[in-house]
C-alpha cells in the first residue's frame, strides 16, 4: 500500500529466506516505506532468520518530507545487504554499482566479486573514488537535484487540473515525493492501456499501471518518468496528458 510492503513477525505461512525491497521509492507506484514498516520488516527478518536485500532505488532524489533512515542503518542484527548504483546520479554508461554487506560476509562477497568480475573496472572505480573524494560528486548531485526538482514542479503543475478530491477514487498522484517518476492513479473504470496507446501516438511514452499488476484488477494509472525529459518538453506534453485523461474520464 502507500506505506510500502506489509510484513509482520507473525506471518508464518511462508517464512521468507530473502526479502528484496526498494524502500526509498517502489516502482511503479512510487510508494516510500514508512519508518514503522521498516522496523516491522526488520522484525520479520529477525523472526525468520531471513536476509534483506535493500535496493536503495532513487534515494538520492527526495524532494519533500523528512529523510528516512535506510533499513541498513536501522538494522541491529546484520541482516541487511544494501546496494545501489551510480546510473541515475551520474550516467548509465558508467555501469558501476555498490554493495554494502555485514562485516562477517565481507570476505565471501569480496571473493565472489573477484571470481565473477576479475579484474573488474579498476580504472573506472579509481577515477570515481577520486571524483567523490574531491567533492565533485556531491556538487554534481546538488545540481542534478535542482534540475529534477524544477521538472517535477512543472509536471505536477501540468497535472493539477485533472486531479480529483483527496481521498476520492482519483485521479490522484502517488510517488511524487522522491525519485524521477510519479504515478497518476486513475479510477478503476479507466482503460489505462488504451490511454497509454493514445499518448504513444502523440510521441509520449508512459506506462499503464495495470500492466504491472498480477492479482489486483482494479489498479489503473499512468507511470510517468521525467528524468530524461527537458523542461521545455514537459511544458509541452504535460497539457497533452491532461487532455487525454479528461477524455478518458468522460
Asked if 111 and 163 sit in the same domain, the reply is: no
Task: Summarize the confidence of residues 99-108 as an average pLDDT.
Answer: 95
Task: Summarize the confidence of residues 178-188 as an average pLDDT.
Answer: 93
Of the candidates 221, 227, 231, 153, the one whose C-alpha atom is nearest the C-alpha of residue 193 is: 221
Asked if 99 and 178 sit in the same domain, the reply is: no
Asked if 93 and 177 sit in the same domain, the reply is: no
Strands 181-185 and 221-225: antiparallel
What CATH code is carried by the domain that includes residue 129?
Answer: 3.40.640.10
- Alpha-carbon gap, residue 162 to 184, rounded angstroms: 10
Asked if 34 and 117 sit in the same domain, the reply is: yes
Asked if 183 and 165 sit in the same domain, the reply is: yes
pLDDT value at residue 105: 96
pLDDT digits (tens, 9 = 90+) for 132-171: 999 999 999 999 999 999 999 999 999 999 998 766 777 9
**Band of pLDDT at residue 120, cut at 50, 70 and 90:** low
pLDDT value at residue 44: 92
Look at residue 2 and tell me if it is in a domain: no
- For residues 105 and 62, the model is more confident at 105
Asked if 87 and 158 sit in the same domain, the reply is: no
Asked if 105 and 197 sit in the same domain, the reply is: no
Angle of the 231-249 helix axis to the 192-200 helix axis, nearest 10:
140
Of the candidates 137, 152, 175, the one whose C-alpha atom is nearest the C-alpha of residue 226 is: 152
**Band of pLDDT at residue 127, cut at 50, 70 and 90:** very high
Look at residue 12 and tell me if it is in a domain: no
Provide the mean pLDDT of the chain: 90
pTM for the predicted model, two decimal places: 0.86
C-alpha grid cell, residue 48:
525468520
Strands 172-174 and 181-185: antiparallel
Total number of domains constituting the chain: 2
* Last residue of one domain, picked from the residues 75, 106, 134: 134
Look at residue 13 and tell me if it is in a domain: no
Asked if 110 and 37 sit in the same domain, the reply is: yes
Which structural domain range is residue 183 located in?
144-249
The length of the chain in residues reads 250
Look at residue 117 and tell me if it is in a domain: yes
Peptide bond into 222 cis (omega under 30): no
pLDDT value at residue 8: 61
Chain centroid, CA 146 distance in Å: 18
Q: State percent of the chain over pLDDT 70.
A: 96
pLDDT value at residue 180: 92
- Alpha-carbon gap, residue 250 to 247, rounded angstroms: 5
Residue 118 has pLDDT above 80, yes or no: no
**Band of pLDDT at residue 9, cut at 50, 70 and 90:** low
Look at residue 7 and tell me if it is in a domain: no
Amino acid at each position: 500500500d502507500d506505506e510500502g510492503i506489509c510484513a509482520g513477525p507473525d506471518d508464518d505461512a511462508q517464512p521468507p529466506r530473502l526479502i528484496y525491497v526498494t524502500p526509498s521509492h517502489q516502482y511503479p507506484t512510487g510508494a516510500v516505506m514508512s519508518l514503522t514498516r521498516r522496523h516491522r520488516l526488520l522484525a520479520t527478518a529477525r523472526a525468520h532468520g531471513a536476509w534483506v536485500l535493500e535496493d536503495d532505488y532513487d534515494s538520492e532524489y527526495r524532494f519533500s518530507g523528512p529523510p528516512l533512515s535506510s533499513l541498513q542503518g536501522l538494522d541491529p542484527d546484520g541482516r541487511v545487504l544494501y546496494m545501489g548504483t551510480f546510473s541515475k546520479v551520474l550516467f548509465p554508461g558508467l555501469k558501476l554499482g555498490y554493495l554494502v554487506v555485514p562485516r562477517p560476509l565481507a570476505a565471501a562477497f569480496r571473493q565472489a566479486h573477484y571470481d565473477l568480475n576479475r579484474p573488474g573496472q579498476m580504472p573506472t572505480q579509481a577515477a570515481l573514488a577520486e571524483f567523490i573524494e574531491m567533492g565533485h560528486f556531491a556538487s554534481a548531485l546538488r545540481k542534478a537535484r535542482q534540475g529534477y526538482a524544477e521538472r517535477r514542479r512543472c509536471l505536477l503543475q501540468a497535472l493539477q487540473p485533472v486531479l480529483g478530491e483527496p481521498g476520492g477514487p482519483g485521479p490522484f498522484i502517488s510517488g511524487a515525493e522522491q525519485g524521477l517518476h510519479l504515478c497518476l492513479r486513475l479510477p478503476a473504470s479507466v482503460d489505462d492501456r488504451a490511454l497509454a496507446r493514445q499518448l504513444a501516438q502523440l510521441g509520449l511514452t508512459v506506462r499503464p499501471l495495470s500492466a504491472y499488476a498480477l492479482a489486483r484488477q482494479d489498479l489503473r494509472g499512468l507511470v510517468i518518468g521525467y528524468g530524461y525529459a527537458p523542461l521545455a518538453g514537459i511544458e509541452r506534453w504535460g497539457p497533452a496528458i491532461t487532455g487525454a485523461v479528461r477524455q478518458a474520464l468522460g
